[in-house]
């Protein structure tokens, strides 16, 4: 059976989600490795999150949830880095 309503996806939002999650996981690695890997991934994820948010809003709000979670992960990563994650830990 086919449905008349097709579910639209937002691939840019999912890219932002996975990059932000990867940045959050890699951030605690000490000796500046976490700062470079985790911080770099979170910056790229922030760019994709903005693009995914704009695409989602253009589609009437479709695919906004991964962007929200990506923003939370990005904030946690940047907060962890500001507390010394990736540098001292």
pLDDT digits (tens, 9 = 90+) for 37-54: 999 999 999 999 999 999
**Confidence label for 73 from pLDDT (cuts 50, 70 and 90):** very high
With b for 16 or more beta-carbon neighbours within 10 A and e for fewer, the 28-42 pattern comes to: bbeeeebbebbbebb
pLDDT > 60? residue 2: no
Q: Which pTM value belongs to this model?
A: 0.86
Helices (H), the chain: 11-26, 33-58, 65-82
pLDDT of residue 19: 97
Compute the distance between CA of residue 73 and CA of residue 49 in angstroms, rounded to an integer. 11
Which residues make Cβ contacts (< 8 Å) with residue 15, sequence separation at least 6?
Answer: 45, 48, 52
């Amino acid at each position: 059976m086919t449905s008349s309503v097709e579910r639209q996806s937002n691939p840019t939002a999912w890219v932002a989600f996975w990059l932000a999650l990867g940045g959050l996981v890699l951030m605690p690695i000490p000796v500046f490795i976490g700062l470079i890997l985790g911080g770099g991934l979170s910056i790229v994820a922030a760019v994709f999150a903005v693009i995914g948010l704009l695409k989602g809003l253009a589609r009437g709000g479709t695919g906004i949830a991964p962007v929200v979670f990506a923003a939370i992960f990005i904030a946690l990563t940047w907060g962890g880095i500001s507390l010394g994650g990736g540098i001292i830990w």
